[in-house]
Amino acid sequence: MPGQTYAMGDAHGDGVRADGEQPVHDVRIPAFRIDATSVTVAGFRSFIEATGFRTDAERYGWSAVFHLALTDPDHVAGRMHGTPWWLGVEGADWAHPGGPSDTAVDDHPVVHVSWNDAQAYCSWAGRRLPSEAEWEAAARGGLASRRYPWGDELPEDGHAVNIWQGDFPVRNTGADGWITTAPVRSFQPNGYGLWQAVGNVWEWCADWFSPVYYAQSPVDDPRGPSTGSAKVIRGGSYLCHDSYCNRYRNAARSSNTPDSSTGNTGFRTVAA
């Protein structure tokens, strides 16, 4: 990615106030190198085989699976409070995304990885997680203040991004070709060569999350608050839909605790 100054944040008023996507503010970042895709199942397996690392999901014995992705109904430990379409599934992890009988596909993004797991991978690979400002610059692909990596509008044919199509959370038509994750090199890359910066899977960033940080952010290479309870995730996922989670946008942001893992969260890395 070239060094640049760009307008970070939601210029269209699309975001939820609690997410803190505004005010739009200039940030200046130096050049950096970022993965063209989310880290794949195959790439993460190489890390596991080399180190013997056990992910948070494996240590806890369960992870969060979307109800339509469930493969093992007899392994459901419970439903998530407030979001009953999320199930706590015993044996769900990076290698078994739908449950213990499911097998992850090598060219899909690895999921069920916590921020802690992503950090461990980065340490092994000699990489790091992107700052939130780096992530957004890369996702924008050189297009200033656009909603999406390709422009402001979703193509009518639905074939630009892997998101939910249908009635959330009960029926996904799969009009984009996928019900859950898609291979990392699906659709088209943006102007910087990044594949699926939005949709498919949420991606961890290095920063702590704060909904008021943008009002305090420095211009030069911001790295987020010094402390917090949750880490930033970016890009939305295959579960995003206008009726519930309109976060498959360049400016959209959310968060989760560093030890949390779900079937729609992965990561990409940058050069250390």
Q: What are the pLDDT digits (tens) for 37-67?
A: 999 999 999 999 999 999 999 999 999 999 9
CATH 3.90.1580.10 fits 4-34+109-271, yes or no: yes
Question: With bands split at pLDDT 50, 70 and 90, how would you rate the model's confidence at 158?
Answer: low
CA-nearest of 237, 233, 147 to 190 is 147
Q: So what's the pLDDT on residue 268?
A: 98
Give the max Cα distance, the chain. Answer: 52
Q: Find out whether 268 and 43 touch, Cβ atoms under 8 Å.
A: no
CA–CA separation, 248 and 241 (whole Å) = 8
Q: What's the pLDDT tens digit per position in 161-171?
A: 999 999 999 99
- Position 244 scores a pLDDT of 86
pLDDT number for residue 40: 99
Q: Residue 65: phi, psi to the nearest 5? A: -120, 135
Compute the average pLDDT of residues 104-109: 98
Q: Mean pLDDT throughout 216-230?
A: 98
What pLDDT does residue 2 have?
A: 97
H or E segment and range at residue 135: helix 132-140
d(CA 236, CA 140): 14
Question: Residue 155 has what pLDDT?
Answer: 81
